[in-house]
Amino acid sequence: MNLTKRAFDLRTALLIGGAALLGVAWAFFNIYQAGGTGFSRSLTPLIWAVFATPFFAFWGWLLARRAEGWLAAIVCFCIYFFGIFLGARIEGLIVGAEAAAANGHALYFQLTPTIQLIACVVVALQRAGTRGTMETATDL
């Protein structure tokens, strides 16, 4: 029979998920570094805050599976792109536009890396479960 048996690839899960965890740690470190200064003085740390998690996950994915480089780039870009919009939308629904602007979008800069981390962990688990082996007659 041509059935496949899925095996969980722990190495892939750890590389992608671990890199995403490093990315979210770097993101929150940059949020901490920016403090409450807003956009005027601390633009670079805030850029890292929304960019770090998918960027690190991309490199972890590339280390785990070099042949999936283009897939990693596309998926991590989508996580970056849609994570930003989802974070902004949730912030707008919870605190409103005026209050968000008044506090320097603090909730947005905390939500976005968190949303991106969740997406990266889901991707890590999905990619870790995709490599299968052919069943042998003894497995049936």
The token pair at 13 is 């899960």
pTM greater than 0.75 (yes/no): yes
Q: Where are the domains of the chain?
A: 7-131
pLDDT at 20 over 90: yes
Among the listed residues 55, 106, 108, 117, the one whose alpha carbon sits nearest the alpha carbon of residue 84: 108
Distance (Å, whole) CA 68 – CA 85: 26
Q: Is the dihedral of CA 44, 45, 49, 51 positive or negative?
A: positive
The confidence score (pLDDT) of residue 40 equals: 55
pLDDT at 23 over 70: yes
Q: Report the pLDDT averaged over residues 41-60.
A: 90
Question: Quick one: pLDDT band at residue 131, thresholds 50, 70, 90?
Answer: low
pLDDT at 31 over 70: yes
